[in-house]
């Protein structure tokens, strides 16, 4: 994902497309639920309270009130007040008037998150490698394309890396067909696959009867095969992850702990860290023209533990759906877990060009997650002991789930399956998760724009991180049914859908001012009009004030506030790329909010 400047320096400016001007009334551009408590933010210079009213399509005033005096949003450099609707609005179209400003039409719908969920799930189908993307399953004909990397096999990397270490390569070719392209690039990474698949599977595991994830609910080739569609999509990636596992008896070359030399290890059961290009591919480029050399990169303990965790989770979920597949996943999980324990410190490093590093040198959280999933699935006493002895068994709060911070996934596995774990452990994990959810509520209250993130610098993938916080909040609601947790999760989604300082829906195809020009190899209309615009449902990484490395972001250094360091520009890979982990959080939150509507 972290593209080098050289890969994009020669790109032309994005195509200009007219869009509505910025409004002083900031609201989810998807629409609102027909429930009390919906929030709308208004930019104002008023010194005191701000009167507001809501008019229906016929111009009748249906609600009115007075919002509190504005607060200064330091991360946006503007003063705003927040309206909280005291009563539910009936489904329909409305306008909000406040402080002399009038909103664009605001839609209230019985199930506003349902179409978003379907589009966000389609993102994964359209990221599939190894199969053609067919017009009958996508939103527009121009989104169809031939198969990318059909029948793909690869050898391990041979050559000199960016730190001067020579890798000899290997004679064998490995079958690595399928899976999802990770982001705007066409790399495939076990680590990011892990957290993405976990979120998708957890969305189903928390509500297996949910109608929008059932068989036949989504536009997929596998629809109506007797298996929930969300599991069909997840399995496409899981099958690739299983192919990334080295066979028993395999040996592989990895870097020495100091990174200065290569060494050979017994690698049976481990997972290759990634499959990627040996040099960055140009942007954009069609899959049928993308013939760059690709390679497998050294196995890592992190990738191996991601495989162990997801395979154990899959073994549990497919146990009654497809026992043979479940048995294969269980065997892979146990083999990977044993391999990770044998080689607990094989780390990925940012030493290869052409693909992202996904480096992580702190793996206690991955061991905790994998052990928790294995214990929940198999009852293995050794895995259970590892969970109990982990430092993550004693944390006072959980970190936001992400590819480098997977402890919360282990916590949620424990809380989904409390009977598999000692009561004291379950109580401690519940306490830790609720402590984080309460901290997010405090963050939400501190933010004038009302969203559950701490003030200050924004990072790469800030929108994905925000929605991952909403996963914690949603799980807290599952445990307590406390309305505030669901409200803050909705705040997070409302933020990415337009209730933000840029009046921008960061989801393509959603709202009056959606993201249009993601950094993506195929959805490249922002650079070359011969390529398609993105499909609806792709989430932009979002504002990034802390790692402004691309040529667009570099021009903004020192000139933007944290929540405004974003540009809808295909060259802005540090701010406007898309990725499977961010969209996985989007589908989890959309599914949660729709499934819990009215509660």
Residue from 349, 365, 550, 577 carrying the catalytic annotation: 577
Active-site residue, 577 included = yes
Give every CB contact of residue 27 below 8 A, 6+ residues apart in sequence. 40, 41, 96, 103, 106, 494, 498, 499
d(CA 434, CA 558): 37
449 within 8 A of 80, measured Cβ to Cβ: yes
Residue from 568, 569, 594, 595 carrying the catalytic annotation: 568
d(CA 154, CA 136): 31
For residue 597, the 8-state DSSP code is T
483 within 8 A of 437, measured Cβ to Cβ: no
- Check residue 101 and give left, alpha or beta (phi > 0: left; psi -120 to 50: alpha): beta
Question: Cα–Cα–Cα angle for 510, 515, 521, nearest 5°?
Answer: 115
Alpha helix segments (H runs only) across 356-461: 364-378, 381-389, 407-416, 423-446
Please spell the DSSP secondary structure of 497-547, one letter per residue. TT-STT--B-BTTSSSSB----B-SSS-TTT-TTSPPPPTTPBP----SS-
Alpha helix segments (H runs only) across 255-358: 301-317, 323-342
Active-site residue, 550 included = no
376 within 8 A of 316, measured Cβ to Cβ: yes
d(CA 83, CA 579): 33
Nearest to 478 by CA among 411, 573, 528, 530: 411
3-state secondary structure of 80: strand
520 within 8 A of 431, measured Cβ to Cβ: no
**Does residue 273 have a cis bond before it (omega within 30 degrees)?**
no
Residues annotated as catalytic are: 568, 577
């Amino acid at each position: 994902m972290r593209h080098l400047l050289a890969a994009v320096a020669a790109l032309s400016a994005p195509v200009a497309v007219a869009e509505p001007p910025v409004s002083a009334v900031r609201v989810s551009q998807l629409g609102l639920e027909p429930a009390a408590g919906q929030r709308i933010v208004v930019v104002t210079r008023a010194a005191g309270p701000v009167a507001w009213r809501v008019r229906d399509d016929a111009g009748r005033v249906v609600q009115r009130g007075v919002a509190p005096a504005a607060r200064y949003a330091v991360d946006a450099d503007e003063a705003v007040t927040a309206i909280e609707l005291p009563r539910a609005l009936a489904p329909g179209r409305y306008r909000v008037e406040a402080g002399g400003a009038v909103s664009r039409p605001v839609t209230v719908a019985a199930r506003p998150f349902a179409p978003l969920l379907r589009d966000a799930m389609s993102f994964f189908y359209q990221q599939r490698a190894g199969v053609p993307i067919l017009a009958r399953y996508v939103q527009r004909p121009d989104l169809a394309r031939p198969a990318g990397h059909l029948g793909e096999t690869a050898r391990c990397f041979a050559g000199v890396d960016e730190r001067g270490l020579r890798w000899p390569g290997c004679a064998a070719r490995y079958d690595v067909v399928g899976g999802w392209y990770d982001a705007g690039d066409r790399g495939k990474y076990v680590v990011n696959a892990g957290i993405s698949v976990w979120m998708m599977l957890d969305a189903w595991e928390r509500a297996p009867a949910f109608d929008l994830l059932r068989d036949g609910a989504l536009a997929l080739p596998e629809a109506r095969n007797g298996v929930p569609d969300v599991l069909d999509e997840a399995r496409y990636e899981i099958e690739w992850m299983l192919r990334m596992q080295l066979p028993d008896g395999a040996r592989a070359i990895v870097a020495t702990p100091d990174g200065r030399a290569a060494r050979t290890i017994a690698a049976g059961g481990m997972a290759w860290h990634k499959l990627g290009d040996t040099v960055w591919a140009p942007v954009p480029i069609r899959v049928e023209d993308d013939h760059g050399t690709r390679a497998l990169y050294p196995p890592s303990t992190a990738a191996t533990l991601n495989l162990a965790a997801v395979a154990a989770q899959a073994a549990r979920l497919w146990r009654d759906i497809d026992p043979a597949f479940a048995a294969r996943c269980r065997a892979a999980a146990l083999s990977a877990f044993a391999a990770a324990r044998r080689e607990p410190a094989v780390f990925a490093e940012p030493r290869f060009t052409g693909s992202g590093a996904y480096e992580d040198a702190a793996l206690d959280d991955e061991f905790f997650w994998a052990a928790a999933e294995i214990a929940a699935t198999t009852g293995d006493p050794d895995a259970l002991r590892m969970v109990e002895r982990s430092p993550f068994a004693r944390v006072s709060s959980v970190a936001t789930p992400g590819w480098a911070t997977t402890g919360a996934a282990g916590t949620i596995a424990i809380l989904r399956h409390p009977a598999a774990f000692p009561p004291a452990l379950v109580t401690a994990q519940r306490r830790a998760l609720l402590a984080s959810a309460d901290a997010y509520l405090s963050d939400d209250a501190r933010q004038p724009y009302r969203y559950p993130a701490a003030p200050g610098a924004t990072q790469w993938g800030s929108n994905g991180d925000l929605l991952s916080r909403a996963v914690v909040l949603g799980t807290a609601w599952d445990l307590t049914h406390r309305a505030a947790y669901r409200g803050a999760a909705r705040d997070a989604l409302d933020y990415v859908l337009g209730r933000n300082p840029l009046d921008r829906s960061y989801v393509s195809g959603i709202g009056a001012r959606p993201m249009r020009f993601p950094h993506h190899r195929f959805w490249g209309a922002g650079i070359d009009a011969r390529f398609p615009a993105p499909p609806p449902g792709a989430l932009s990484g979002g504002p990034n004030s802390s790692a402004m490395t691309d040529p667009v972001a570099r021009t903004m250094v020192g000139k933007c506030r944290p929540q405004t360091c974003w540009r809808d520009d295909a060259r802005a890979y540090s701010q406007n790329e898309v990725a499977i982990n961010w969209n996985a959080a989007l589908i989890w939150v959309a599914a949660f909010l729709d499934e819990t509507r009215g509660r």
